[in-house]
């Protein structure tokens, strides 16, 4: 059976598409065999030699088509040339009359021309198809090699989410083989590991989401518990692949192992948390000692010592704020920042915050037109923190401009608080980033101000926890207005 199959495979021109191997021996052999067999047939068996001629022409046409499709232009030319030579041989060897002889020559020339045209057209078509298939196969090999060498995991699926390719890195990462045809996000039974935090279901799978929404899904993180007990953190970016008509033909996911990065971040967070806890107690004691020294020393009425003590107190206060910010950031990272909500007047809180910040010195005028009493349901201390941060920033980044405006607006379902300054402003490209953790604008002017880039991050997280929003409108060099909103209901 195997030999029969091999024989048919050898004969079938479709099986040789893309081979780019064109045989000379096979067409030569068959085309020489045909005249020999025909001659034997004509002289030994045939009753009507004219009929034999018709069969031969039919067979020659078939062979020209067959060999040009199997062995390219050369296969077709070999067949045409041998056929024409054989026709000439027949004309000379059969002792035709003059008329028959000359019409035989003309027919042979016409037939030869038709055979050659057929050989050239079909052979050229066959060779073009071969080149195309070969180019595609090379492209595939090139892509496969790149995929296998990539330091990140890659999974490619068709438009229905069935895996068509997965590289070695993703299989090493997950410690399993991903079967082809496995449908991402649907075949849960085939998910061999256990997802540490959650099962990647179809609506959570970034690849499935990007197929559904026809756009990229970036930076999704998943915890994964491997069968050997190792915990992994993976970051997944998925996107759809469209054809020239804009139809989805495939989707691809790039998966990076971010376990080391996560562990390092956690160690860093743990360190910041521990260090700020350790610093908090001595700073509180320091403040108490300074208060007690100030009380004891008052009776000496020494203005120099008084001034020094006020400075020490101010610096200790700053240190305390810094440590408390550090603690808040670390609590936010670990989800441990707690909130105690109550109903209170936000307008009063604004007035109190302004008074607290300005104290005795009034270098910059903070203008706040007190509106009607406005109640919110929120964590009073945390909202104070947000207000204090926005007002101190406004003062800090508009030092030479004297005015800062505070406004509260009540809308249908929320209140909006705005803090406006006429200071250095923030460029459009930086406006979103200033709310990121430890982000500071890196311009020449900005670098002259002290700070660690924690205030706006903490404010953003606090407002987010109240289901509100925080944003900035600003023009570089002209000033900024920071807004935050708090919903009136349902937070
Ligand atoms: P910090 O002020 O401690 O650096 P913040 O998180 O409060 O940290 O602010 C982040 C960055 O945003 C600042 O470094 C500053 O560049 C920019 N910024 C904040 N508020 C203002 C403002 N009112 N005007 C101009 N730039 C500001």
User: 395 CB less than 6 Å from ligand 1?
Assistant: no
Average pLDDT for residues 434-455, to the nearest whole number? Answer: 81
Is any atom of ligand 1 closer than 6 Å to the C-beta of 239? Answer: no
When pLDDT is cut at 50, 70 and 90, the band that residue 453 belongs to is confident
Give me the pLDDT at residue 186, please: 62
The sign of the CA dihedral 38, 15, 20, 68 is positive
Place of tokens 């936000």: 346
Over range 39-54, report the average pLDDT: 76
Q: Which pLDDT does position 196 carry in this prediction? A: 42
What ligand 1 atom has the least distance to the C-alpha of 457?
Answer: 6
For the Cβ of 423 lying below 6 angstroms from any atom of ligand 1, the answer is yes
Nearest-angstrom CA–CA distance, 171 and 147: 12
pTM for the model: 0.60
Q: Judge if the beta carbon of residue 420 lies within 6 A of ligand 1.
A: no
Check: CB of residue 290 under 8 Å from CB of residue 312: yes
Angle between helices 49-93 and 98-149 in degrees, nearest 10: 100
Residue 424 in contact with ligand 1 by CB distance below 6 A: yes
pLDDT digits (tens, 9 = 90+) for 196-214: 444 455 567 888 889 888 9
Per-residue model confidence (pLDDT) at position 440: 83
Is the beta carbon of 390 within 6 A of some atom in ligand 1?
A: no
346 or 291, which is more confident: 346
Q: Is pLDDT above 80 for 359?
A: no
Looking at residue 127, its pLDDT comes to 95
What is the rounded end-to-end Cα distance, in angstroms, of the chain? 77
Mutate to test the pocket of ligand 1, among 389, 397, 401 (most ligand atoms within 8 A of CB): 397
Which pLDDT band, with edges at 50, 70 and 90, does 192 fall under?
very low
Q: Exposed, middle or buried, 274 (CB in 10 Å: 0-12/13-18/19+)?
A: exposed
Which one is predicted more confidently, 300 or 225? 225
Is residue 301 pLDDT above 60, yes or no?
yes
The ligand 1 atom nearest the CA atom of 458? 6
Identify the pLDDT of residue 190: 43
Mean pLDDT along residues 79-101: 88
Residue 194 has pLDDT above 70, yes or no: no
Out of 195-204, 359-368, 480-489, give the one with best mean pLDDT: 480-489
Better-predicted residue by pLDDT, 12 or 447: 12
The CB of 223 under 6 Å from ligand 1? The reply is no
The residue whose CA has the least distance to atom 16 of ligand 1 is 441
- Rounded to an integer, the average pLDDT of 424-438 is 91
- pLDDT confidence tier of residue 344, bands split at 50, 70 and 90: very high
The radius of gyration of the chain's CA atoms, rounded to the nearest angstrom, is 42
Q: Answer yes or no: is the C-beta of 456 below 6 A from any ligand 1 atom.
A: yes
**DSSP per-residue string spanning 15-81:** GGTTT----SHHHHHHHHHHHHHHHHIIIII-S-HHHHHHHHHHHHHHHHHHHHHHHHHHHHHHHHH
pLDDT attached to residue 109:
95
Q: How confident is the model at residue 447 (pLDDT cuts 50, 70, 90)?
A: low
Rounded mean pLDDT, 449-475: 92
Determine whether the shortest distance from the Cβ of 475 to ligand 1 is under 6 A: no
pLDDT at 37 over 50: yes
Percent of the chain with pLDDT over 90: 51
In the prediction, which pLDDT does 304 show?
80
Q: How much distance in Å is there from the Cα of 270 to the middle of ligand 1?
A: 25
């Amino acid at each position: 059976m195997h030999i029969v199959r091999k024989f048919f495979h050898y004969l079938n021109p479709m099986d040789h598409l893309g081979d780019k191997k064109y045989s000379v021996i096979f067409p030569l052999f068959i085309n020489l065999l045909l005249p020999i067999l025909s001659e034997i047939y004509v002289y030994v068996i045939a009753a009507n030699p004219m009929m034999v001629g018709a069969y031969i022409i039919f067979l020659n046409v078939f062979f020209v088509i067959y060999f040009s499709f199997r062995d390219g232009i050369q296969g077709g030319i070999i067949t045409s040339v041998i056929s024409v030579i054989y026709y000439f041989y027949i004309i000379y060897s059969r002792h035709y009359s003059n008329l028959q002889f000359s019409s035989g020559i003309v027919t042979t020339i016409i037939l030869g021309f038709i055979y050659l045209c057929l050989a050239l057209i079909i052979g050229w078509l066959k060779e073009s198809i071969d080149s195309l298939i070969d180019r595609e196969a090379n492209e595939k090999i090139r892509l496969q090699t790149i995929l296998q060498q990539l330091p990140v995991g890659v999974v490619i699926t068709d438009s229905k989410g069935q895996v068509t390719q997965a590289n070695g890195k993703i299989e090493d990462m997950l410690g399993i083989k991903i079967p082809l045809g496995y449908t991402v996000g649907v075949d849960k039974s085939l998910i061999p590991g256990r997802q540490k935090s959650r099962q990647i279901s179809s609506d959570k799978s970034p690849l499935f989401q990007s197929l559904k929404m026809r756009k990229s899904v970036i930076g999704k993180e998943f915890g994964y518990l491997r069968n050997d007990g190792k915990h992994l953190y993976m970051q997944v970016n998925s996107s759809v692949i469209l054809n020239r008509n804009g139809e989805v033909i495939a989707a691809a996911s790039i998966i990076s192992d971010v376990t080391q990065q996560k562990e390092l971040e956690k160690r860093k967070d743990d360190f910041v948390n521990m260090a700020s806890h350790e610093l908090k107690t001595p700073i509180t004691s320091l403040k108490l000692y300074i208060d007690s020294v100030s009380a004891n020393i008052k009776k000496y009425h020494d203005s120099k010592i008084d001034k020094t003590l006020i400075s020490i107190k101010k610096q200790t206060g700053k240190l305390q704020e810094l440590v408390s910010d550090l603690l808040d950031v670390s609590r936010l990272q670990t989800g441990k920042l707690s909130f105690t909500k109550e109903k209170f007047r936000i307008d009063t809180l604004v007035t109190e915050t302004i008074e607290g910040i300005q104290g005795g010195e009034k270098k910059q005028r903070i203008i706040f037109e007190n509106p009607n009493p406005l109640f919110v349901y929120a964590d009073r201390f945390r909202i104070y923190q947000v207000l204090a941060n926005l007002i101190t920033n406004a003062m800090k980044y508009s030092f030479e401009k004297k005015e800062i405006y505070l406004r509260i607006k009540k809308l249908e379902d929320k209140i909006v608080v705005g803090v406006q300054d006429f200071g250095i402003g923030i460029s459009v490209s930086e406006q979103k980033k200033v709310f990121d953790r430890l982000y500071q604008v890196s311009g020449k002017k900005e670098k002259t101000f002290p700070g660690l880039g924690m205030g706006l991050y903490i404010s953003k997280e606090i407002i987010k926890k109240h289901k509100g929003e925080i944003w900035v409108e600003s023009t570089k060099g002209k000033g900024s207005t920071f807004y935050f909103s708090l919903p009136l209901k349902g937070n």
